[in-house]
Amino acid sequence: MTPAEAILERLAAWRPTGPGPHVTRVEAAGGALTLTADRADELSCRLTELAVSFPAGDDCTAAELTGLAVNAAAVKGLSEPLTVYEVDSTRRVAKLRSATPVVRAGQRLYFELTLSGRRQATLTRYAGAATGGRQAVPFAMTHESIAKVAEELLGASAAS
């Protein structure tokens, strides 16, 4: 079973009730996906975080981290393409953000993908005012998009 198939199978059966946050984890070949959502239905989830854990959880060199960030920027499953924003080789953390944030009601909305070495990739959505400051906001994704993003991130990790 491919990672996308395992994820789709799990999401098809996931029906959390009551107030969130709700968390589900899917073990897949090449890693694991953990979703935190305030809602989920038969087609989509309203997520607050999507995290992919990689099996090769060891540290990586600065060059490997940069390669991982470049590979992760090629993820096509999001509504907005990502670009490498920062690579901190000392802390072994890379940040990618939406290349072109969406502006809605005076706020910039953008995805931020944080790579923690070869251990984990965490996707969050932020809203920021033009005057500064930001806060994490929920974001909706179809099950198909979730599976695609997770599989692409697992592939990006393997390719670097």
**Residue-number span of the structural domain to which 30 is assigned:** 3-159
Q: Rounded distance, CA 72 to CA 153, Å?
A: 6
How many Cβ atoms sit within 10 Å of the Cβ of residue 86? Answer: 11
Per the structure, the count of domains in the chain is 1
Report helix, strand and coil shares of the chain as percent, to nearest 5.
25, 45, 30
Entry pTM: 0.92
Q: Rounded distance, CA 77 to CA 95, Å?
A: 18
Which stretches of the chain score pLDDT less than 70?
56-58, 130-131, 157-160
In this prediction, residue 54 carries a pLDDT of 85
In this prediction, residue 60 carries a pLDDT of 83
In this prediction, residue 56 carries a pLDDT of 67
